[in-house]
Structures are given as structure tokens and as C-alpha cells.
Amino acid sequence: MATQFWICDRIIGWLRKEGDQSPIELRRRLLQFHHLELLYHRVWRGKELAMSMIHGNWADSFERMEDFKEELLRRNPAGCRPFIGLDGCHLKRKFRGVMMAATSLDGNNGLFPVAFGIAESENSDSWIWFLEALKESIQTPEESFNAWISEARHRPVLDLLDVVRQKIMMKMEARRRMAARWKGNLVPVVIKYVRDISLKLGDYNVYRTSDYRAEVIETNGRHEVILNEQRCSCRLWEVSGIPCVHAVAFICSMRGANLENFVSEYFTIAKYKTVYALEIGPLPDKAQWIKVDLGYKI
């Protein structure tokens, strides 16, 4: 027997996407698609349950009026990007210690080492020293730096640092060559992302309030999108620099709009090439290095 819960499961998608419909209309559609002739009052109960799941019940609505007012005030007058990931990798063998690293992501989601250093142990003083040095040097999700250097962390510290230098040197050269083969304006990972989410836009409805502002309705809720500020209430666009699915739905509803214009410059091929333009020079053998007299022994 079709219960109100079964009916709710079948009609909730229709109500979310198309808005309110009468029990008579819902009863007709259930007959058409599921070949069941249902009693009016059972369809009505299923609809009431579905509407409560979509919009909340009346009591909850009154209780949250003050919340609604505060959200309206917060959202209506009128935002973080760059992330750096921090990691500490414990070293092996005789003297132990820890390699501290700051890493970020390039525009194509590849690991980009920002800085690294060696400390005796991982504690507050060590991190303060490292972060102060990092701040002076540069006036963030990472591929695990631990995994990246795992095969070298048992080596003496000088060899460890040299392995890291070689890895960075080779990675930058490999990515320079890779970027030279790319065509277009955006890096491949962004092209794929936009292509993938563009296939899901049938589940989104866009209601504009101006040329640059809209409500975007999806199955599980709605979001405010402001194109000229590159913001969405889901926060994903602000954090990633790439339009979220709600923003893509809005942009694709505009005649003549170019999605590329709404992607952060960090994800352009030109910016990617700039990131890897620096060449890290090769070093000669240790026997050829100039000896530096510090005046004391480390």
C-alpha cells in the first residue's frame, strides 16, 4: 500500500523543482508515472509531509523569524583565498629533528613548495621561528609533503635538503614542459571541472534579481549568487576561485556570457607558466663547493 511517506518520496522532487501543486495534480501525475490511483486525502498528507521537509513546519518558521531578520541584515547591505598548508615531517636516523614545510597548490592542483626548514623538534618555538622566516620570505590544501620526501627523510640533513632541492628543480621543469603543450586560456583541471558540473545544470533553477544577482534553487536548498563580486552563499567560489555549480547555472542562463571571465586568474595558463618560469640552477658536486668559515662549529 502507498503510504504518505512513499508518496512524499515520489513527489518531493516535483515540488522542489516546480513549486506548489494541488493534490489533484499530484494525484494525476502519480497515476501517470506509477500507475496507482490514490485517495485524495492520502496524496494531500504526502504533499503536506513533503512541503514540511522542503520549507520546515509552521512552528519552526515562527521560531526562526529573528534568525531570518538577522540573516537579511547581514547579507544585504553590500570576503579568502590564498591558502598555505603547513606540515612537519619527522626525520629518521641519528640526530632526528623535523623538517617543517609550507606548501600550496598551483592552478592545476599540483603541489607547490613555498618554503622548508629544519628544526630540532616540533613545538611552539619551532613553528614561531619557521613562520616568522616564512613571513620574511614571502612579504594553501597540499599533496602530503611527508609523502613527497618519505624516501629521503632517513638521510643526513644536508642530503635531505639536497634531495628536496632536486625534487623541486625537476618538478618545476616538468611542469614548464607540460604547460607549454596546453592550449586555450584555463588550466586542464578547471576545464574538466566546469565541463563536469555543466552536465548537472538541469537540477537548478535561476531567478534573477538583477543582471549580476540571483537566487539559484537546487534540490536541497537555495543560494544567493552575486556575479560581479564573485560570491555565492555556499562559499565555494570565494574559497576556490572557480565558479561553483550555482554560479555556473547563473552564468549559463545569461546570453553571451563567457565562463572564463569569472574564473580567478590563478587558474589561467598564463599565470601557471609564470609560477614555473623560475629556473632552479643545478649544483656541482660537494667537493667543489666553496667552504664558508662561520667562526664557530655547528
Looking at the fold, whether 201 and 148 belong to one and the same domain comes out as no
CB 157 within 8 A of CB 97: yes
Distance separating alpha carbons of residues 112 and 174, to the nearest angstrom: 13
215 and 158 inside one domain: no
Q: What is the pLDDT of residues 71-118, one digit of tens each?
A: 434 543 332 235 677 877 777 655 577 888 887 776 676 777 777 777
Specify whether 174 is located in the same domain as 194. no
Three-state DSSP class for residue 284: coil
Query: Are both 156 and 197 inside the same structural domain?
Result: no
DSSP strands (E only) in the chain: 85-90, 98-105, 111-119, 205-208, 213-218, 221-226, 231-232
- Look up the pTM and report it: 0.51
Higher pLDDT, 272 or 106: 272
Q: What cell numbers appear for 217 in the block?
A: 534553487
Packing angle of the helix pair 40-55, 23-34 (nearest 10 deg): 100
Q: What is the pLDDT of residues 38-47, one digit of tens each?
A: 889 999 999 9
Q: 91 and 170, same structural domain?
A: yes
* Main-chain phi, psi angles of 50, to 5 degrees: -65, -45
The answer to whether residue 241 sits within a structural domain is yes
- Grid coordinates of 163: 634531495
pLDDT of residue 118: 77
Query: 279 lies in a domain?
Result: no
Note down the domain range covering 252.
Answer: 188-267
For cell 538541469, what's the residue?
202
Domain count, the chain: 3
- Beta-carbon count within 10 A of 210 CB: 9
Q: How far apart are CA 110 and CA 133, in angstroms?
A: 24
In terms of pLDDT, which residue wins out, 100 or 250? 250
Residues 102 and 152 in one domain: yes
Of 18, 47, 75, which one is at a domain's C-terminal end? 75
- Which among 75, 109, 127 is the end of a domain? 75
